[in-house]
Amino acid sequence: MARTGPQRPSAVVQTSKPNKRQQMESTFLANLRTASMLFVVTVVFIVTFTPGFLMSLDWLPWNMTVFYLYFANNVANPVIYSFMNQNFRADLRHLVCKSKPPQKKRFSTTDHD
């Protein structure tokens, strides 16, 4: 039986939009990177603040090196962020170098088109 009218293609290939599985994998990887960065920040916080806290409770003798660990945490956070977050790295480069604004690849959880 012959069909009249326009023929429909048997398979449609979408190249402009990622499929649902790719989008879920991308979301999972983004969440995993964020969780690992927060884990590292938390560990550094515990390592740098615990000795000072113990020193304030008089469980450790007063030591100037331990006192400066408070400041080490403030120095460590931007270093951790720049190693583990591409957006932070690009924004920091823009801020320091006064170059043109970086092209951001921000992940949006509300964009499901």
The pLDDT score that the predictor gives to residue 108 is: 53
CA distance 104 to 88: 10
Query: Minimal CA–CA distance to 68: which of 81, 55, 57?
Result: 55
- Regarding pTM above 0.75, the answer is no
Binning pLDDT at 50, 70 and 90, where does residue 96 land? confident
CB 42 within 8 A of CB 34: no
pLDDT digits (tens, 9 = 90+) for 23-63: 888 888 888 988 999 999 999 999 988 888 888 888 888 88
